[in-house]
Amino acid sequence: MIPWLNTNFRHFKPTAAIAINATRHMNKIERRKLFSPDIEPMRTAEGRWFEAIVYEMFLDIAKKTDTIRYIAMKGADAPRQRESVKVGQNGLFYSKYGDITIRGNGQDLAEFDMLLVDSNNHVAFAEVVTSPADLKEFEIEIAYKKKLLGYLYNQKTTPFLLVSSFDLSNYSVVKRLAKDKTNAIIHTSSCEEIKSLVKHYRPRIIYNEPKDHKKLIRATDIRMKHPFNYKGNHDEVKNRIFTEITHTPGRINPEIPGPTGQLVKKVLYGGLFPPAIRAVCETWGMTVKGKKIVIEDFSKQYSKAIIATDLPGYELIIYLRSRQKKEYHKLVQMKDGHFKFERPTPPKVGFFLWLETIQPTLGARITLQIIDAFTIHERQRTG
């Protein structure tokens, strides 16, 4: 499919009919914002629209070739009944917006702009970008999604398609991706060009819903060959790291063998008992929105603290459960060693529900050992 797309896709450009039909995947507010003078909401709506345009283009292309065997439904075509996020969920799900996600213990591990099955029964995925800002950490994200789909569907290679509304051929990350023959890089019409096709389109819009499209299937019907228990994989990785921490004082860089370990995106080591929270405050320090957290005020502001690391780089994170609002404050470690507020984790995501299940298990000694294990040597303690 990838060589075919690289060779033939240049002949497919969005038409006015496809562009208008794509708006069926947007709500009324998003449609109104497409031509808004307010740049930020306009760009957000534009990104959603272009993603739908690419999907509609593929619905059209798939009818004309055997290279694409199936396309997974999304957006307005997604099944009406969708499972709400719950702890313990593993596998493919549709979000409430009709987006395709893979969840692990309820957490969204990956979201896919499009899922396809080619003529060789390989599961492929596509990402759609409308801005260079979308390329931040893009390479790591694509590598993870390839690894995830490769494991779940028992594939040695996972085809990937990048579709952009702007020329990204000069970006180093894209040049690296283009060297991989399992990737297709496609530059289609710009959003401005597509808008020019529909700006003065006034006739009554009649959406062409693909009710009889022979290649359209539910994403959840693409059977996994390796069903997984993400919480079990996570705990296996966590236990390996704890073993290494207790046997190797100071900085460590664990290598977790096996594919299941490579699928774990974040390790949650546990909640902190009060002495551990005090040790972090006094030894390293924590600030939220410019204000330093002092241990005497901690219990007034927060009900819980959880320590974690992101993978693959083992960057340290502390999550604080706010008492004022139903959310967690995510704190990341800065270059000087202290933990600084980055953003909130809202209650509507599966990861929030997982955090809610975690209770205090870590004392001061093991907490400081975890921080020492993943803090770079140049960082200095405050105490």
Per-residue model confidence as pLDDT tens digits over 106-119: 999 999 999 999 99
Match 């240049």 to its residue by tokens: 10
Return the ∠ at Cα 276 (arms to 273 and 282), rounded to 5°. 145
How much of the chain exceeds pLDDT 90, in percent? 69
What are the beta bridge partners of residue 286? Answer: 339
- Length reported for the chain: 383
**What single-letter amino acid sits at 239?**
N
pLDDT given for residue 205 in this prediction: 62
Judge residue 115's burial from the number of C-beta atoms within 10 Å of its C-beta, 0-12 exposed, 13-18 middle, 19 or more buried. buried
Taking 70 as the threshold, does the pLDDT of residue 246 lie above it? yes
Q: What is the pLDDT of residues 148-200, one digit of tens each?
A: 999 999 999 999 999 999 888 889 999 999 999 999 998 888 999 999 888 77
Quote the mean pLDDT of the chain. Answer: 91
What are the beta bridge partners of residue 317? Answer: 308, 332
Return the ∠ at Cα 244 (arms to 239 and 247), rounded to 5°. 125
Dihedral angle, C-alpha 235, 240, 243, 248, nearest 10 ° = -140
**What single-letter amino acid sits at 94?**
Y
Global confidence as pTM: 0.90
Q: What is the C-alpha separation between 91 and 146, in angstroms, rounded?
A: 15
How much of the chain exceeds pLDDT 70, in percent? 96
Q: What is the C-alpha separation between 190 and 130, in angstroms, rounded?
A: 8
Q: What is the pLDDT of residues 299-316, one digit of tens each?
A: 999 999 999 999 888 999
Count the neighbouring beta carbons within 10 Å of the beta carbon of residue 203. Answer: 6
Dihedral angle, C-alpha 80, 85, 89, 93, nearest 10 ° = 30
- Percentages helix, strand, coil for the chain (3-state, rounded to 5) are 40, 25, 35
Q: What is the pLDDT of residues 22-34, one digit of tens each?
A: 999 999 899 889 9
Taking 80 as the threshold, does the pLDDT of residue 208 lie above it? no
What are the beta bridge partners of residue 270? Answer: 307
Beta strand pairing call for 302-310 and 315-322: antiparallel
What are the beta bridge partners of residue 291? Answer: 288
pLDDT given for residue 15 in this prediction: 87
With H, G, I as helix, E, B as strand and everything else as coil, classify residue 314. Answer: coil
Confidence category of residue 201, pLDDT binned at 50, 70, 90: low
Instruction: Please report the DSSP string for 288-346 in residue order.
Output: ETTEE--HHHHHHHEEEEEEEEETTTTEEEEEEEESSSSSEEEEEE-TTS-EEEEEEE-
Taking 70 as the threshold, does the pLDDT of residue 343 lie above it? yes
Beta strand pairing call for 183-187 and 286-288: unpaired
